[in-house]
Amino acid sequence: MGKKKDNAAEPAKKKKKKKGAPEEKITVLGLDEKPVEQTTLATGVPTIKDLMAPPSIDRSNPDYIKVGNKYARNFIIAGYPKMIAVGWADSIYNYDGDLDLAIHVNPTDERNALDELTNKITQFEAQLSTELEKGSNRNITRLQNQIQELYAERQKVEQNYISIFGIQMIMNLYCQSLDQLNKETQLLDNSLKGRKIKLMPTYLQMDQGYKSALPFGKSWLPKNYRNFSSEGLTACFPFYNAEISHATGVFVGVNLQTATPIYIDFEDRRVLNNGNVTVFGCAGSGKTFLVSLLTMRSALKQVRTVIIDPEGEYRTITQSLGGATIVIAPDSTSLINPFDIEEEDEVDDDGRPTGAKIVKINEKVADLLNLIGVMCGTIDNEQRSLISYVISELYADFGFTEDPSSLYLDNVDLNSRGEFVHHGRKKAMPTFSDFHKKLEQVAQNDSNKCLVNVANALRMFKKGGVYGMFDHQTSQSLQNFKEAPVVTFDVSQLEESILRPIGMFIALNWAWEKFAKKNIKQKKRIVCDEAWMLTNKNMVGHEFTAQFLETTSRRIRKRNGGLLVASQNFKEFSDNPQGQAVLTNASVNIFLKQNSTDIDDVQETFKLSDGERNFLSTAKKGHFLLKMGQESTVGFAKAFEYEKYLIEKKTISAVS
């Protein structure tokens, strides 16, 4: 007690500031609690801590906290709706007041989750037994339903279909006065009661509750957790943009958060770079129904559509819209000549027509080279070069050049009125047999022996061969469908591993030649369903079909059109450069429920949040995530009763 204090403990003596001396340094504690040197000129400037922290906190009242000049009350959600779906918490997220919300998520051990579910089942079964003795029918039905739901949930956990999480939702409500805080508390409570959400003030625990709602990533209320499945967890996060909708366009669906309609103008280049769309969803997700809705509603906007249908799913909607279904099959009378070539409107780099007509023979040669590649399975660079030469020479033999007049006969006929008329009749087009004959001639040259195997492999595609259905002139009946609002090519009867990709390719090529290239002013769309068949590496000749699909996605914009690609299997579609290019080139991407085998690839490709991932893993039929660039929203493919009838009625007719 009488000991002399250490010099270090003595107060620092003030020193006079010498003239011309540097400014005195003052030590200030920063966020990391390490000394930070400041000059006297900076004295009084608030630190980051000062800016974040309130000037004072009064914890003396058990029912609220005074934070600076504001009054705050902390709540925890103690009761949840029976059904947790996307949008259930919108009343909280959209509350027009000063409200902070924190969601604490803790994964639950699977074994513990199963034990809890089993205990609940045992508890409810015991209650049911008691109620059965009492004869209370209302309670009996309720308990039976709860037990059934619990058994179903336990089965999902056992099969790793879902996981169980502990969820705590806690919030701080701020007001300028205590009276206002009490009024806002009542308003908030009333707004949530309608959603079956029960609020509980953290009475006597306001301090712990208040801190738990701040962005510390920690809860000081460890006992107030509620078990949620991964399906329910998905619906807890407002991961989506509240609104994505254009002023005009096609009605795509209803926003799940705001219940407002979603309109997308696929044709307006002021809002979208192109009209390309992708739709991905697993079996039973509502993919075909959504594409049918878009086709029907686009038709009302004078958009004509050609559908490549590998599963025979679009006949009904085609017939309902007054369109035509063309069946491509070995015994079909609707024949397509893949060597057909058409003139087209010449366009500049911006897609504006120049007024001239042109025949792009080189482009057609490249397309047919891809077809030959699909038929052969593979061709090397030397063979590609020679095959390109053969196709070019074949068109030259028929007198075809880049001049559109070369496609037509020169004869002039005398009509019934004695007038000479040029009918513009097309010349006969080369066929596959013509190509194969010339290929064999070129292969006879000793320097071209590499073509011998190609010619041999292609014999089965000649008329009379096993796959000779593509060695014909195009049926005259197909010309009657030029003005149909929807034309569907049904290739479902073709053998899946070899013929179906070829049939899809030829139909897609026909759509390009006879549809996309024609009438630059006509708004148009090509739909390629189950497009994974054209990009899947397990399919014969996939590199050629994928290349043509990617090329179509790039060049259709200048023809006043768009490509809609739909598929069940995202991974098989995207697992090659051409598939990735199609995805990148699409202005609108729509995702319905995804398979567990695809969800990782979808998340990685489109940089989905965990909330978006969980939504797509558990989405209900017809629910979708729509992405446009960096924006996203969730919606539901709402259909009117007459639309359902037009899409789903059983009466169908087809041209075969």
- Could you give the CA distance from residue 473 to residue 494 in angstroms, rounded to a whole number? 20
**Model confidence at 24: pLDDT above 70:** no
- Predicted confidence (pLDDT) per residue in 148-187, tens digit: 888 887 887 777 767 788 899 999 999 999 999 999 999 9
Identify whether the C-beta of residue 545 lies closer than 8 Å to the C-beta of residue 505. yes
d(CA 258, CA 242): 7
For residue 201, give the DSSP letter.
E
Q: Give residue 2's pLDDT band: very low, low, confident or very high (50, 70, 90).
A: very low
What lies within 8 Å, CB to CB, of 4 at 6+ separation is none
Give 514's DSSP letter.
I
Using the predicted structure, report yes or no on whether residue 314 has a pLDDT greater than 50.
yes
DSSP state of 426: B
For residue 371, the model assigns a pLDDT of 92
Mean pLDDT across 563-589: 93
Maximum Cα interatomic distance, the chain, rounded to a whole number of Å: 139
Digit-coded pLDDT (tens) for 243-273: 788 988 999 999 887 788 999 999 988 889 9
Summarize the confidence of residues 31-51 as an average pLDDT: 53
- In this prediction, residue 135 carries a pLDDT of 73
- Residue 34, pLDDT > 70, answer no
Q: How many other C-beta atoms lie within 10 A of the C-beta of residue 648?
A: 13
pLDDT > 80? residue 35: no
CA 307 to chain CA mean position, Å? 19
Cα(409)–Cα(424) distance, rounded to whole angstroms? 7
**β pairing state of 486-490 and 413-414:** unpaired
pLDDT tens track for 98-118? 999 999 998 887 777 788 888
Q: Phi and psi (nearest 5°) for 261?
A: -70, 145
Over range 131-145, report the average pLDDT. Answer: 77
For the segment 232-242, the average pLDDT, to the nearest whole number, is 69
pLDDT band at 55 (very low <50, low <70, confident <90, very high): confident
* 223-233: average pLDDT: 80
Distance CA 512, CA 255 (A): 35
Contact (CB, 8 A) for 175 and 70: yes
pLDDT attached to residue 65: 93
Q: Is 10 exposed, middle or buried (0-12, 13-18, 19+ CB in 10 A)?
A: exposed
**Mean pLDDT, to the nearest integer, of 130-153?**
79
pLDDT of the residue at 615: 86
- pLDDT at position 177: 95
pLDDT at position 278 over 70 = yes
Question: What six digits make up the tokens of 146?
Answer: 């709860």
Higher model confidence: residue 572 or residue 53? 572
Q: What is the 3-state secondary structure (H, E, C) of 427-488?
A: CCCCCHHHHHHHHHHHHCCHHHCCHHHHHHHHHHHCCCCCCHHHCCCCCHHHHHHCCCCEEE
pLDDT-derived band at 491 (thresholds 50, 70, 90) equals very high
Summarize pLDDT for 4-18 with one digit per residue, the tens: 444 444 444 444 444
**pLDDT (average), residues 320-348:** 89
The neighbour count for residue 370, using CB atoms within 10 Å, is 21
Please report which helix (H) or strand (E) contains residue 175, including its range. Answer: strand 164-175
∠ CA 590-596-598 to the nearest 5 degrees? 50
> CA nearest 361: which of 378, 344, 376, 377?
344
Average pLDDT rounded to a whole number, residues 295-318: 94
Per residue in 522-543, pLDDT (tens digit) is: 999 999 999 999 998 888 778 8
Mean pLDDT of 370-381: 89
At 27, the pLDDT band (50, 70, 90 cuts) reads very low
Of 567, 563, 604, the C-alpha closest to 587 is 563
Q: Per-residue pLDDT for 652 more than 50?
A: no
User: What CA–CA distance (Å, rounded) separates 357 from 348?
Assistant: 12
Residues linked to residue 67 through DSSP beta bridges, in sequence order = 57, 70
| Mean pLDDT value across the chain | 84
Residue with tokens 């025949």: 359
Q: What is the pLDDT of residue 649?
A: 72
Q: Is the pLDDT of residue 43 over 60?
A: no
Q: Please give the backbone phi and psi of residue 84, each rounded to the nearest 5 degrees, phi first.
A: -100, 110
- Exposed/middle/buried for 37, CB within 10 Å: 0-12, 13-18, 19+? exposed
pLDDT digits (tens, 9 = 90+) for 423-436: 567 889 999 999 99
Three-state helix/strand/coil letters over 85-101: CCCCCHHHHCCCCEEEE
- For 394-424, what is each residue's pLDDT tens digit? 999 999 999 888 888 866 565 666 555 555 6
Higher pLDDT, 634 or 518: 634
DSSP type of residue 655: B
pLDDT (0 to 100) of residue 475: 87
pLDDT of residue 145: 81
Amino acid identity of 500? R
